[in-house]
Amino acid sequence: MKIVTIEHSWPESWKYSYTYDLLEIYGEDASSKGYAYAYANRRRHILELIQKVAKPGAKVLDIAARQGNFSLMLAITPH
């Protein structure tokens, strides 16, 4: 996934979440590699479970999505 670069015009809440995106999605900080690895495994497992029970083209409601990392992956993951 392409790394998005922070924009100074973003709302403060987006800028705050961006640091978590770098950690969770990209594992940017060398000290966070373990966290990024665990997050990637959890995300992969959850996406596999959803794909097992949801039919292709199904709609999924992601409540409390925060940055929407799981929703984004579901949107781009082929079924």
Identify the DSSP state of 10: S
pLDDT of residue 9: 94
Identify the three-state secondary structure at position 37: helix
Say if CB 66 and CB 17 are below 8 A apart: yes
pTM over 0.85: no
Question: What is the rounded average pLDDT of the residues 52-79?
Answer: 75
pLDDT of residue 30: 58
Question: What is the rounded average pLDDT of the residues 35-45?
Answer: 81
What are the residue ranges spanned by the domains of the chain?
A: 12-76
Selection from 45, 23, 46 nearest residue 36 by Cα: 23
